[in-house]
Amino acid sequence: MRSKYDVEIFLQNLRLPLEYASHATSHAPSTMAATTSRSPLAPLYSQIQNPKTDPFFTLNLPKLRRDISRHACSSSSSRSSRRKIQATELQKIIDDYPYEFNSKDSPTSLPRPLTSAQLSNLTAEGSRLRVAYQGVRGAYSESAAEKAYPNCEAVPCEQFDTAFEAVERWLVDRAVLPIENSLGGSIHRNYDLLLRHRLHIVGEVKLAIRHCLLANHDVKVEDLNRVLSHPQALAQCENTLTQLGLVREAVDDTAGAAKHVALHKLKDAGAVASMTAAKIYGLNVLAEDIQDDSDNVTRFLMLAREPIIPGTDKPFKTSIVFSLEEGPGMLFKALAVFAMRNINLTKIESRPLPKRALQTPDENATGFPKYFPYLFYVDFEASMADERAQNALGHLKEFATFMRVLGSYPADNGLP
């Protein structure tokens, strides 16, 4: 039997969607109703059995912990006969939840995160997953989501923030969001959101980007005066669009541009978007592969609420973020912890540390700080199961002012 402390730790980490609660109650024995009819734990079990009308819900953990603690810690002798029943009920609630506990391990074992093998199974059974992406139907992000999780239900979100929040609130299971492009560089917004939210990187997927110039039927290239698309897509096709003499207008996403052109039946405007978007919105393809560089690849991150257990059976990447004190050679010292262990870095990105600046005034007494602190995002080719990676991060923590592992996940080394 788990102790009260174990139960509290378990409940603290517990957030379940409705389908899980339904599974728990459908397997509860009929005798449970009789034993819980007057039990102090009945309201707790009722909260699971009757989650009101919300399609997904989160247990009220602080209140739940107080209620369990109050009843589990009761020392009154008059309640001694009821404590066994309560313990049995609470054990049943725990056992009914679809988290795996290892009974052979210590009693304080927490719900296990997914292993990389289980992640592969989820990918193969993608029809069970709801995957958020930014944009509308026909966006490159939708194609990336379907490549990452075949047969998934792709869920469009207006903004990157919305996709992060959808995963955190159990509205979807995963999110697939762009992080960098081989031509346009990093998507800074998503780096900032990785730090703001507590999601974990569980994989990556690379997608070849092939831009097309789209327009309504009976519209020719010479009829166009302007072209709509995402700023990065416009930048990636700069040479072609300049040769055509088209005015560029930025919108939120490529597929949204195609939808706008089709919906308003524009005759003087085209869109830079995918072939898929052309089919969805019934547009004509005036030109294919108009990007300036044929090697146009976007890397997407696969995000989840829980991390996966890293392995060594396949190539892994690990993503971290850290900050350092200001001083000569500090960044060199930080990167040396990887070089001295023969760990290859695949990405380094710096972002300003928000709402902070080192209070070292300039000698000219301008009133502005001399230095601004930065966060450093680093990807390296090693699994956190690798002793070299563990030692490198242990070394880095000795002088880093902040460090967080964003995820350790299988690398996508296939063709985009």
Known catalytic residues are 298, 300
CA distance 266 to 217: 10
CA nearest 320: which of 384, 414, 372?
A: 384
Burial class (CB in 10 A: 0-12, 13-18, 19+), 295: exposed
The phi, psi pair for 156, rounded to 5°, reads -75, 145
What is the separation of C-alpha 94 from the centre of its chain, rounded to a whole number of angstroms? 27
**Region class of 329: left (phi > 0), else alpha (psi between -120 and 50), else beta:** left
CB-based contact 376:370 (threshold 8 Å)? no
CA nearest 252: which of 352, 169, 162, 354?
A: 162
CA distance 83 to 73: 9
CA distance 202 to 309: 9
CB-based contact 286:215 (threshold 8 Å)? yes
CB-based contact 195:358 (threshold 8 Å)? no
DSSP 39-98: -TTHHHHHHHH--TT-SB----HHHHHHHHHHHHT---GGGHHHHHHHHHHHHHHHHHSS
List the structure tokens of 142: 């939708």
Q: In DSSP terms, which residues pair with 229 in a beta bridge?
A: 250
Cα dist. 126→121, 174, 190, 253, 361 in Å?
8, 11, 24, 25, 55
Cα dist. 55→20, 58, 81, 130, 171 in Å?
11, 11, 38, 14, 8
What dihedral do alpha carbons 185, 353, 321, 186 form, nearest 10°?
-10
